[in-house]
């Protein structure tokens, strides 16, 4: 399917690894110029070189901690002409209420929850002036399938779901769209870290984490590219009547009767 995205400019956060990197590759494949944001310069440069090896698009990398101060406003100042914003940065740690103390909880939310909100605040204002733009928030299925062992993440994702729906509901009045994706388990370094903790808690051995993937749909986690394909479609005019909507990609887990 031709998505007619060639020549548009996309900013992707958390773009050096996992889902963010897959989204960046998929956007580049459609001809989008890119601004890639993540904390680690070396990882960003690796992502840039990979993309440039298969597609001749402009790729700018910005090593930046989005949880700090005016990071969002600085990005909007330096790169005001963004057509597509993909919010993806942030890994909220697993743990129960007793295990995640307030400083750790706040630090995680400063990056993911408030990072998404602040970037939307900065870029929606710019997009509104042009009456054109799309925001894709990569959130997480824990926001709809609550888990007390991932309480900071479940609560943060639920907040971002409400934020996406509220903002996306009125976005069309300004010619904009705001959508979200709730990935379930995805084969990333972050998933492995979470599964190792759960294996330690449940099985007494972090090294047995792969046993926890057997009960997943199709016996595996999703590939990052499967999430990226949906993100790129939602960002395109082929999905031009979609706003305030969150797509869950979890192999049906959210609709199971019993816990995974």
Among all residues, which ones are annotated catalytic? 150
User: Are 168 and 178 in contact, with CB atoms under 8 Å apart?
Assistant: yes
Q: Longest C-alpha distance within the chain, in Å? A: 55
Q: In what order do the strands lie in the sheet with 84-87?
A: 59-63, 33-38, 9-13, 84-87, 133-138, 176-183, 246-249
DSSP, res 175: T
In degrees, to the nearest 5, what angle opens at C-alpha 34 toward C-alphas 85 and 194?
65
User: Are 13 and 86 in contact, with CB atoms under 8 Å apart?
Assistant: yes
**Can you name the residues that pair with 186 across neighbouring β-strands?**
222
Q: How far apart are CA 246 and CA 226, in angstroms?
A: 16
DSSP, res 63: E
3-state helix, strand, coil in the chain (%, to 5): 50, 15, 35
User: Are 191 and 212 in contact, with CB atoms under 8 Å apart?
Assistant: no
Other CB atoms within 10 Å distance of the CB of residue 33: 18
DSSP, res 221: P
Q: Give SS3 for 135.
A: strand
Torsion angle of C-alpha atoms 125, 133, 185, 196, degrees rounded to 10? -40
């Amino acid at each position: 399917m031709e998505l007619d995205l060639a020549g548009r400019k996309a900013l992707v956060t958390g773009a050096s690894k996992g889902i963010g990197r897959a989204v960046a590759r998929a956007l580049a494949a459609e001809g989008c110029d890119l601004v890639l944001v993540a904390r680690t310069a070396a990882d960003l440069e690796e992502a840039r070189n990979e993309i440039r090896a298969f597609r001749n698009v402009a790729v700018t990398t910005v090593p930046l901690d989005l949880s700090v101060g005016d990071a969002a406003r600085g990005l909007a100042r330096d790169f005001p002409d963004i057509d597509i914003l993909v919010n993806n940065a942030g890994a909220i740690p697993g743990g129960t209420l007793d295990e995640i103390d307030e400083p750790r909880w706040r630090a995680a939310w400063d990056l993911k929850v408030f990072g998404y909100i602040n970037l939307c605040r900065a870029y929606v204002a710019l997009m509104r002036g042009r009456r054109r733009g799309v925001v894709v928030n990569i959130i997480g299925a824990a926001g709809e399938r609550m888990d007390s062992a991932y309480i900071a993440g479940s609560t943060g994702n639920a907040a971002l779901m409400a934020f996406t729906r509220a903002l996306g509901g009125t976005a069309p009045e300004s010619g904009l769209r705001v959508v979200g994706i709730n990935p379930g388990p995805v084969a990333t370094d972050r998933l492995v870290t979470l599964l190792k903790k759960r294996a330690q808690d449940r099985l007494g051995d972090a090294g047995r984490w792969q046993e926890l993937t057997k009960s997943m749909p199709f016996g595996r986690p999703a590939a990052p590219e499967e999430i990226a394909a949906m993100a790129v479609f939602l960002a395109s005019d082929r999905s031009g009547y979609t706003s305030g909507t969150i797509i869950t990609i979890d192999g049906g887990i959210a609709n199971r009767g019993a816990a995974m």
